[in-house]
């Protein structure tokens, strides 16, 4: 976060672009073992979490990001019972998974204990007590190491890690080798969902490469996007599975599943939204088809800043 003057900070997306935010106060500012952490009260978006200077989520619109990361995958699965969440330190991804009464157990692996402490203290609206739900096993550790060593299998794996920054902790969670390890931990109908970075036309290579890398592991891969106002960018997500395809579910079927599973309180996701999410614009289809490469451990991908 770069302070521009005493009431404004800039979040830079690249060397050439950024978003100016008016702010009231800084609640947290410091370095952990893994990253720079800031929690700031802004005028437009309320409380915001920034990691390494990048907006992770805001009080005003985090529901858009977290609902659309979690529910398309869990609704596409016929009966998700065991779920793995990787990252997601704010606890909001966990909160959305726990909305599904059929989910019996959630393992959450977050690398940064300090982010969890800050979230417990300052981001109550995000986690809403999710960390203390008896269905949750919270592990502090590296998501990559966890999937490489754990014997467990899951119906859904939700990956909510930071963008692949040059020296960030998440870079090796975007590679072919990682997705193969995740695939080994999925039940036969298991599904993987992840945030895939900005889907802006000037940064298409990252989402397209994540999509391409998943395609090297999973027979069914679907990308989708939504605009997140506090990011000031259209944001990409990807789903992968051996057989389940979110695109075959129409709006009425999604609404039936939501009702049958007694999901309540959603503000962003329903049948109509689901159908719209998987009807991609021609421009995004073109980006996904032409701009990606397979990301490997020895040839990672990095966001511009
Ligand atoms: N909304 C986000 C975005 O736009 O990038 C992601 C949010 S979430 C706060 C990202 C979390 O991933 C952070 O809490 C970070 O500590 C965690 N993380 C990063 N690398 C990780 C790793 N290797 N294993 C587990 N968690 C990781």
Q: What is the pLDDT of residue 178?
A: 98
Same domain, 10 and 85: no
Give residue-wise pLDDT tens across range 191-201. Answer: 999 999 999 99
Position 261 pLDDT exceeds 70: yes
Q: Is residue 296 in some structural domain?
A: no
The residues, ordered by sequence, that sit 6+ positions from 121 with a Cβ below 8 Å of its Cβ are none
pLDDT digits (tens, 9 = 90+) for 274-303: 999 999 999 999 999 999 999 999 999 998
Q: Are residues 92 and 209 in the same domain?
A: yes
Considering its fold, how many domains does the chain have in total? 2
185-221 pLDDT, tens digit each = 999 999 999 999 999 999 889 999 999 999 999 999 9
Domain boundary among 13, 39, 58: 58
Q: Is residue 305 part of a domain?
A: no
What pLDDT is recorded for position 6?
74
pTM listed for this prediction: 0.97
Q: Is the confidence at residue 5, as pLDDT, over 80?
A: no
Residues 157, 285, single domain; the answer is: yes
- Give CA–CA dist 171/184, Å, rounded: 20
Residue among 111, 148, 200, 232 to mutate when testing ligand 1 (max atoms within 8 A of CB): 111
Helices 62-76 + 251-260 axis angle, to 10: 90
**Residue 120 belongs to a domain:** yes
Nearest atom in ligand 1 to 163's CA? 5
Q: Look at residue 57 in the predicted model and tell me its pLDDT.
A: 97
Mean pLDDT in the chain? 96
48 lines ligand 1 (CB under 6 A): no
The stretch 121-127 carries a mean pLDDT of 98
Find out whether the beta carbon of 99 lies less than 6 Å from any atom of ligand 1.
no
With a 6 A CB cut-off, is 82 part of the ligand 1 pocket? Answer: no
Domain boundary among 42, 58, 74: 58
Instruction: Please indicate, yes or no, whether residues 53 and 101 belong to a single structural domain of this protein.
Output: no
Question: The domain spanning residue 183 has which CATH number?
Answer: 3.40.50.150
Inside any domain, residue 302? no
- Where helices occur in 31-142 by DSSP H, the ranges are 62-76, 92-98, 113-122, 124-127
The rounded percent of the chain whose pLDDT value lies above 70 is 99
Based on the residue annotation, tell me whether 160 is a catalytic residue of this protein: yes
The sign of the dihedral angle between the CA atoms of 131, 144, 204, 76 is negative
* Domain limits for position 20: 2-58
Point out the domain boundary residue: 31, 58, 85. 58
Q: Give 29-56 pLDDT, tens digit per residue.
A: 999 999 999 999 999 999 999 999 999 9
Residue 297 domain-assigned? no
Same domain assignment for residues 12 and 141: no
Question: Do residue 168 and residue 193 come from a single domain?
Answer: yes
Among the listed residues 160, 232, 255, 270, the single catalytic one is 160
pLDDT band at 167; cut points 50, 70, 90: confident
Please determine, for residue 171, whether its predicted confidence score (pLDDT) is greater than 90.
yes
Do both 109 and 158 map to the same domain? yes
Q: CA–CA separation, 222 vs 278, rounded Å?
A: 8
Domain match, 136 and 11 both: no
Specify whether 125 is located in the same domain as 52.
no
Question: Does residue 304 fall inside a structural domain?
Answer: no
Whether 51 and 156 map to the same domain: the answer is: no
How many secondary structure helices (H) and strands (E) does the chain include?
10, 13
Among 89, 117, 145, 200, which residue has the most ligand 1 atoms within 8 Å of its CB, making it the best to mutate?
Answer: 89
Per the listing, tokens 């990308």 go with: 223
The token pair that represents 32 in the structure block: 């952990």
pLDDT at position 1 is 66
Q: Does residue 160 share a domain with residue 217?
A: yes
Tell me the CATH number at 45. 2.30.140.10
* 8 and 111 both lie in a single domain: no
In a domain, 229, yes or no: yes
> Is the distance from CB of 165 to CB of 52 less than 8 angstroms?
yes
Q: Say what the pLDDT of residue 105 is.
A: 98
Percentage of residues in the chain with pLDDT exceeding 90? 92
Which residue(s) pair with 106 in the sheet?
A: 83, 136
With a 6 A CB cut-off, is 142 part of the ligand 1 pocket?
Answer: yes
In a domain, 225, yes or no: yes
Helices 204-215, 282-290: axis angle to 10 degrees equals 60
């Amino acid at each position: 976060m770069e302070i521009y003057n005493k009431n404004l900070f800039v979040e830079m997306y690249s060397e050439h672009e950024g978003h100016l935010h008016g702010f009231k106060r800084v609640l947290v500012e410091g370095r952990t073992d893994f990253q720079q952490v800031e929690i700031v009260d802004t005028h437009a978006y309320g409380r915001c979490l920034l990691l390494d200077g990048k907006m992770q989520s805001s009080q005003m619109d985090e529901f858009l990001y977290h609902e659309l990361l979690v529910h398309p995958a869990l609704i596409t699965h016929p009966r998700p019972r065991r779920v793995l969440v990787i990252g997601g330190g704010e606890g909001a991804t966990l909160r959305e998974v726990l909305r599904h009464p059929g989910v019996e157990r959630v393992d959450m692996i977050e690398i940064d204990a300090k982010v969890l402490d800050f979230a417990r203290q300052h981001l109550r609206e995000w986690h809403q007590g999710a960390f203390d739900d008896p269905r949750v096993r919270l592990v502090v550790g590296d998501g990559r190491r966890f999937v490489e060593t754990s014997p467990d299998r899951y119906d859904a794996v939700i990956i909510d890690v930071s963008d692949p920054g040059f020296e960030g902790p998440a870079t090796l969670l975007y590679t072919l080798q990682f997705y193969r390890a995740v695939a080994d931990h999925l039940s036969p109908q298991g599904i993987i969902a992840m945030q895939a970075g900005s889907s802006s036309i000037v940064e298409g290579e990252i989402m397209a490469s994540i999509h391409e890398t998943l395609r090297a592991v999973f027979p069914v891969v679907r990308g989708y996007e939504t605009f997140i106002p506090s990011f000031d960018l259209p944001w990409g997500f990807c789903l992968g599975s051996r057989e389940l395809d979110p695109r075959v579910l129409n709006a009425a079927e999604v609404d039936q599943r939501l009702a049958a599973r007694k999901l309540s309180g959603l503000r962003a996701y329903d049948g109509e939204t689901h159908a719209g999410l998987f009807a991609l614009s021609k421009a995004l289809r073109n980006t996904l088809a032409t701009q990606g490469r397979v990301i490997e451990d020895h040839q990672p991908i990095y966001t511009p800043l």
